[in-house]
Chains A and B, each alone.
Chain A
Amino acid sequence: MLANNNKSMLRSQVRVQEEAFDPGVEQQALLAGRSDIGAVVSFTGLVRDFNERPEVTALTLEHYPGMTEAALAQIIDEARERWPIDAVSIIHRVGRLTPGDPIVLVVVACAHRRAAFEACEFLMDYLKTRAPLWKKEHTASGDYWVSEREQDHHDAQRWEKESP
């Protein structure tokens, strides 16, 4: 699960699971035994009770097993080409979730804060536009598949403009 690469000291983890996760526990596990890390940035996405319609009662997340893990690993590789990342973990939940539940966790640890902040944002922006996951929202007025948001593509595109 937690892959250690001695050469670059990179710890990298990708998980797709139905079970809930504890961001604190995950961060601790990622940093355990390391004293070369100066900054850790963690993002947790939660289920909102409003989105395309008000009163979202639940969410069903579907993914493409096999490809999801590969796509997330690929996104991590791209982030590593841009920032000196020491440890990174992405956990995404699938299945039925209710408002307040954590959906996604991205933890990035680097020597310095700027790289950690930027890499975490980059990973989330790319995850939202490239990882094969789909949300179906359940509301009092019916179920529907969530539409893609143009804003997500703008968010991802800004990294492309800034690339060398």
Chain B
Amino acid sequence: MLTHLNERGEAHMVDVGDKAETRREATASGAIFMAPATLGLLVEGRLPKGDVLATARIAGIQAAKRTHELIPLCHALSLSKVTIDFDIDRESGCVRVRALCRLNGRTGVEMEALTAVSVACLTLYDMCKAVDKDMEIGAVHLETKTGGKSGDYCRNTALGHSADQNHVADQGSVTAAEASIPENRPNMADSVVSTAEGVANTKSAVVHVRCLAELRERLGVEETSVTFASLPSADVAGLKAQLGRMDKRFQYLNDAQVLCAVNHVMAGDSSAITEGDEVAFFPPVTGG
């Protein structure tokens, strides 16, 4: 697929000539938040500049192809596939953008996917700015990356973007959860075993997070895991802070209504957590 490799001679550019050609794929996502009225006009096709999503899609595809012109040390790539998808998320008041880039080649395509998302968001801003100047672009991040020497990557938060996310239905949250679960995700029993055997198992050095009932649907997350070492403090407050850093939708966990349990026992912000713990967040209970 790669017609030629760019050997421009810049000393600081990675020489990819000796790398094996593999099928590379990357997905990235982001969102542009806007007023509900703006989102309504966009959906109904009543914005002055015309078909907003179609324009933003073309812009994203063009941007992916021209990433090397924008990002100084990127190679020019001959992409075999670029797709841009949009989700209208009325609950969060935003348009979510997801880009997929693919090629058979010697370098990853994550910069292309991230650039596509960014430019699609900028184009959405341009297309809507006549009626809303307060729009905000955010949450631009890499979702997945496959192929290449550094191995596959899947973003650890479940907050990526599922095609169904605008439907706040079980199906949507399940999709998000599946996307988030790293391979060979250890369960609690696994981590207990590895501790007992004294085996260093880096994969167990995580805290498992679950969201239940209305909270699961609100956040679009059923399960995720957070690296224990990334927590600013080894307690529930630290976990909430780290989750909030990973995706601002998790900031809702600080709402006074949200309850928390650590290993099935009700807990508060100051409750200690450790590797392998299961931390669940949920709304006030309504059984009986």
Contact = CB atoms under 8 A, between A and B. Distances in A.
A92 interface: yes
B219 to A, nearest CB: 13
Contact of A133 (B210, B266, B285): B285
A10 B214 CA distance: 37
Given A62-B213, A64-B212, A67-B280, A148 B261 contact: no
B3 interface: no
Contacts of B288: 45, 92, 103-104, 124, 127-128, 131, 133, 152
Given A64-B212, A66-B264, A132 B284 contact: no
A97 B250 CA distance: 32
Given A62-B213, A63-B287, A134 B264 contact: no
A93 B264 CA distance: 19
B283 interface: yes
Interface string A122-154: 001001111111111000000001111100100
Contact of B285 (A45, A66, A132, A136): A132
Interface in B113-149: none
Interface string B215-230: 0010000000000000
Interface string B49-87: 000000000000000000000000000000000000000
A134 to B, nearest CB: 4
Counting chain B CB atoms within 10 Å of each CB, which of A63, A64, A132, A149 scores highest? Answer: A132
A61 interface: yes
A20 interface: no
B286 interface: yes
Contacts of A129: 285
Counting chain A CB atoms within 10 Å of each CB, which of B217, B283, B286, B287 scores highest? Answer: B287
A145 B287 contact: no
Contact of B283 (A66, A103, A134): A134
A132 B286 contact: no
Interface in A21-75: 45, 61-64, 66-67, 70-71
B285 to A, nearest CB: 6
B285 A131 contact: yes
Nearest to A106: B288
Given A67-B261, A146-B286, A134 B280 contact: no
A149 B284 CA distance: 9
Contacts of B282: 64, 132, 134
Given A128-B288, A134-B213, A64 B261 contact: yes
Given A63-B287, A148-B284, A132 B261 contact: yes
Contact of A62 (B212, B261, B265): B212
A147 B283 CA distance: 9
A14 to B, nearest CB: 13
Contact of A135 (B212, B264, B287): B287
A73 to B, nearest CB: 11
Given A64-B261, A66-B264, A67-B261, A135 B280 contact: no
Interface of A: 45, 61-64, 66-67, 70-71, 92, 103-104, 124, 127-136, 145-149, 152
Interface of B: 210, 212-214, 217, 261, 264-266, 280, 282-288
15 contacts: A62-B213, A63-B287, A64-B282, A67-B261, A67-B265, A67-B280, A70-B264, A127-B287, A132-B212, A132-B282, A133-B285, A134-B282, A145-B214, A145-B286, A147-B284
Given A70-B264, A148-B286, 5 more contacts: A130-B266, A131-B288, A132-B285, A145-B286, A147-B284
